[in-house]
Amino acid sequence: MRTPEETVNEFIAAIGRKDLDAAVALVADDLYYDNVPIGDMRGASAMRDFLTPMVGGDGPVAFEIVRQTASGDMVMNERIDRFTMKGKEIALPVAGVFEVHDGRITFWRDYFDNGMFMKMLKG
């Protein structure tokens, strides 16, 4: 069985490969995902629907981990999320918190500046 940190790293790698099937396989069916400035959702399928526009863009997707720490079932990271949306290249600083139980992510919360994100989209 993977450690919680290995699970989160594999989840991030799957997103980078634009492999939502592999990413969803690493989250619990009742995942709680809170994208703080935008809102929260429950369930792996809701998370898939939310991430589809990000990974469906023409450009690459990368969650570049700047710093990461893990303690018990919790993993926290500081990232630069890079992707293309609406024809704009986005490089968004994000702080993420994950909880992993029985090898699957049960909780995921991301914090970022939505004003900065909207400025990037407007370009």
Give catalytic residues, as residue numbers.
81, 110
Question: CB of 101 within 8 A of CB of 90?
Answer: no
Question: CB of 30 within 8 A of CB of 42?
Answer: yes
Instruction: Indicate the SS3 state at residue 19.
Output: coil
